[in-house]
Amino acid sequence: MALPLTTDQPDRSVAPDERTIARNFILARLGSLFAFAPVGVWTVVHLWHQLAAYQSPQAWETAVTAHVNVASTVLVFVLVLGPLLWHTIWGILRMLRSRPRPLESGFSNLRYLLQRL
């Protein structure tokens, strides 16, 4: 007899605390990915266009100003600035929720405070 793929019973196989830890871990990884991936892709494309300067000044001018399609500009804003905005908001919320622990370690606490400036 085949088991049903879904049930109307809530999943109780994982404790709520463990689900919270897993969710926070996944959100932290997504926050890092949303910062690294768009900026990395944008940097590679930007450097690729700048390499046209080695061909000629006209080739460089064409490479950096050849955005004839408005959709490409919108796509860049959505794919680069959207995740960066999400990452920024996520980072600010994470910073506001965290607290220094001065009694544990003096140097680590100083490093913690300097990272948030």
pLDDT tens digit string along 39-70? 888 889 889 888 988 999 898 888 888 777 88
Quick one: CA dihedral 92, 94, 96, 99, positive or negative? negative
| Angle between helices 57-65 and 16-50 in degrees, nearest 10 | 150
pLDDT tens digits, residue range 90-113?
A: 888 888 887 766 666 667 777 777
Say how far apart CA 67 and CA 87 lie, in whole Å: 27
